[in-house]
């Protein structure tokens, strides 16, 4: 598995078609990542790093991000109702220019993924 792009460059996914959106949880239910899977086999993983910024990685395959460890302690759950082309990606940065929030429009639905006080949040 290769990381193709990180940060704001990883968010250049407009017009790609999403076939599934998944949430990745620790066994205790703590949300660790959101993963958008595209029809061409790429995936976009969004997680919160230790400095509370949102990390975006465009990956060459649909696999558990390697920094989520141990992998066997994670559970991946698909949100099947969010599919279609990405028509809009709007990112927000904090005062020092770090990524903290991304709003996606996928098909006719909007999805917000962000970092708040070190936790990954979704709407």
Interval 73-96: pLDDT, tens: 888 999 877 889 999 999 999 999
Q: State the DSSP string of 37-77.
A: EETTS-EEEEEE-TTS-EEEEEESS----TTSSSGGGEEEE
Q: Do 54 and 115 meet the contact criterion of CB atoms below 8 Å apart?
A: yes
pLDDT, tens only, 17-66 = 999 999 999 888 889 999 999 999 999 999 998 788 899 999 988 777 77
Dihedrals phi, psi of 96, to nearest 5 degrees: -105, 10
CB-CB contact of 64 with 75 (8 Å): no
């Amino acid at each position: 598995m290769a990381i193709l792009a990180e940060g704001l460059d990883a968010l250049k996914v407009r017009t790609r078609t999403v076939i599934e959106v998944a949430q990745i949880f620790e066994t205790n239910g703590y949300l660790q990542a959101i993963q958008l899977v595209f029809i061409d086999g790429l995936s976009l993983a969004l997680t919160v790093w230790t400095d509370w910024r949102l990390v975006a990685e465009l990956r060459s395959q649909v696999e558990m991000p390697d920094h989520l460890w141990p992998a066997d302690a994670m559970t991946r759950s698909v949100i099947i109702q969010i599919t279609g082309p990405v028509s809009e990606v709007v990112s927000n940065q904090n005062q020092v220019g770090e990524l903290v929030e991304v709003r996606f429009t996928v098909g006719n639905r909007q999805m917000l993924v962000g970092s708040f006080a070190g936790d990954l949040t979704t709407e």
